[in-house]
Amino acid sequence: MAASPAKVYRGVVVHSKDQDNIDILDNALLVVNAEGRIAALEANVADADVPEALKRLGVEDAPLVQLQRGQFVMPGFVDTHNHAPQWLHRGQGQGLHILEWLDQVAFHHESKFQDPKHASRVYAAVVKGMLRQGVTTASYYGSRHGEATKILADTCLQNGQRALIGKCNMSRNAPDTYRDENPQESLDLTVDCIKYIKTIDPQGKLVRHVLTPRFAICCEEELLTGLGEIAKQHPEMAIQTHFNESEQEKNFTLSLFPDFNNEADLYEKFGLLNDRCILAHCTIMTPYESQRLQELNCGVAHCPTANMTVGGGFMASPIRDFLRRGMKVGLGTDSGGGYSSSMLNAMRHSMITSYARDFLDDRNGSAALSFEQVFHMATMGGANVVGWGEQVGDFTIGKQFDAMLVDVGAHRNGVNAPLEDDDTLRTMLEKFIMTGDDRNIVSVFVAGSKVSGH
């Protein structure tokens, strides 16, 4: 007989098969073993057959969680682009162009993370708040401060959130009170943070460092060169930056690097464009840049909320084109620039912006995203972007159980559309994604351990 697992769930289980298909399994048995991994997943197990199925799977003595009508289990959300130090000023400066927003809002607030006490207080709220909303994995930009970045890593590890964490590299075009003193200091702090994160989580099971040049505007050639060398020395390490976020940002970037006429060649020149990249936004793309990102297998962090509210225009990324190319695409809240930290909002807004792009382009449906594609980007797609796709993102046997238990019942006192007796399981899922919020998320799990809820 197999060892008793941590838990067995019985009821509706939902996950993405691929970008065009969602598996909605009724009367499923989902077995999570003692190591927090998926040991078995079987659908359509009738009530009378449950005892025999549990025995056959060798888990008859394991705790059984029977889901009720209106409840289901789905993979946790993956937020591929989040500015952790912007938690407190979400919603401020909406409508500003991106560079003005940074100068008038973001840089001032991020500079406060020089104080470790401030960092400890805010990052505790960030991680708990994101977990409560079902975000089991996040790719975080830290501030430019080394000590605060370490505090963010400690906080994620202590609270059980899977995370990429990067000390933000920025040695120019920022206030004197909030920038690295020079490229070498920026590089030294980065190396120190890399060593620290490897010390607290040597195998990178939950927390990993991600190289984080804020964007080329804030980095001299010396700094970009040094980061490229670090990337070469750590061939497994992810790299994140902002890429073609807005017309204003793109024009300023190219004015600082006159030898280049596009950002793809710029970052590639410094060794910072490859299959480990998480490129946020990608709104104004030339055919050449899209092709180059495809060839290099770069990942895209699509942040529709921010693209509609900060930056200087309604910037709808060509996501459907990226998906047709087979590129890795996930969703990001861009919390700070995006006023909402909710991945549910990111999912909704990604559809809205795609409909707008379709109308503005050719109105033939070629730019519009489907519900299935959006669900995939929020889970499996995001996991692929941040480099954890072989471990999490769906309920494939052997993957870790990063998941949430959702309940759309009226007793949750949420604002979701009421569940009707004749609603299909697909309707139940749509009501949560399109009208639910964190009140509908009962429990959240990372690697089989409960990290939020009850």
Strands (E), 260-382: 277-281, 299-302, 328-331
Quick one: 348 and 201 in the same domain?
A: yes
The per-residue pLDDT for 2 is 41
The per-residue pLDDT for 3 is 45
pLDDT in tens, 74-131: 999 999 999 999 999 999 998 889 999 999 999 999 999 999 999 999 999 999 999 9
How far is 337 from 381, CA to CA, in rounded Å? 22
Quick one: 61 and 106 in the same domain?
A: no
State the average pLDDT for the chain.
95
- Neighbour tally for 233: CB within 10 Å: 10
The per-residue pLDDT for 358 is 86
Quick one: 404 and 365 in the same domain?
A: no
Quick one: 260 and 381 in the same domain?
A: yes
How many domains, in total, are found in the chain? Answer: 2
pTM for this prediction:
0.97
How far is 411 from 397, CA to CA, in rounded Å? 33
Is residue 370 assigned to a domain? yes
Quick one: 140 and 232 in the same domain?
A: yes
Is residue 320 assigned to a domain? yes
The per-residue pLDDT for 371 is 98
Quick one: 137 and 247 in the same domain?
A: yes
Is residue 218 assigned to a domain? yes
Is residue 427 assigned to a domain? yes
Quick one: 334 and 399 in the same domain?
A: no
Q: Which class for 176: exposed (0-12), middle (13-18), buried (19 or more C-beta within 10 A)?
A: exposed
Quick one: 86 and 140 in the same domain?
A: yes
Q: Are 159 and 202 in contact (CB under 8 A)?
A: no
Quick one: 311 and 239 in the same domain?
A: yes
Tell me the residue range of the domain where 189 lies.
77-386
Query: What CATH number should be reported for the domain holding residue 402?
Result: 2.30.40.10
How far is 266 from 148, CA to CA, in rounded Å? 29
For residue 221, the SS3 value is helix
Look-up of token digits 């009962």? 442
Quick one: 103 and 238 in the same domain?
A: yes
Is residue 1 assigned to a domain? no
pLDDT in tens, 268-288: 999 999 999 999 999 999 999
Q: Across-strand partners of 213? A: 169
**Contacts (Cβ under 8 Å, ≥6 apart) of 397:** 38, 39, 40, 41
Q: Which of 330, 361, 386 is the last residue of a domain?
A: 386
Quick one: 70 and 166 in the same domain?
A: no
Q: Which of 338, 353, 386 is the last residue of a domain?
A: 386
Task: Please name which of 336, 326, 428 lies closest in space to residue 381, comparing C-alpha atoms.
Answer: 326
Quick one: 212 and 355 in the same domain?
A: yes
Is residue 354 assigned to a domain? yes
pLDDT in tens, 120-138: 999 999 999 999 999 999 9
Query: What CATH number should be reported for the domain holding residue 323?
Result: 3.20.20.140
Task: Spell out, as residue ranges, where the chain has pLDDT lower than 70.
Answer: 1-5, 312-314
Q: Which of 386, 403, 433 is the last residue of a domain?
A: 386
Task: Please name which of 235, 276, 246, 275 lies closest in space to residue 263, comparing C-alpha atoms.
Answer: 246
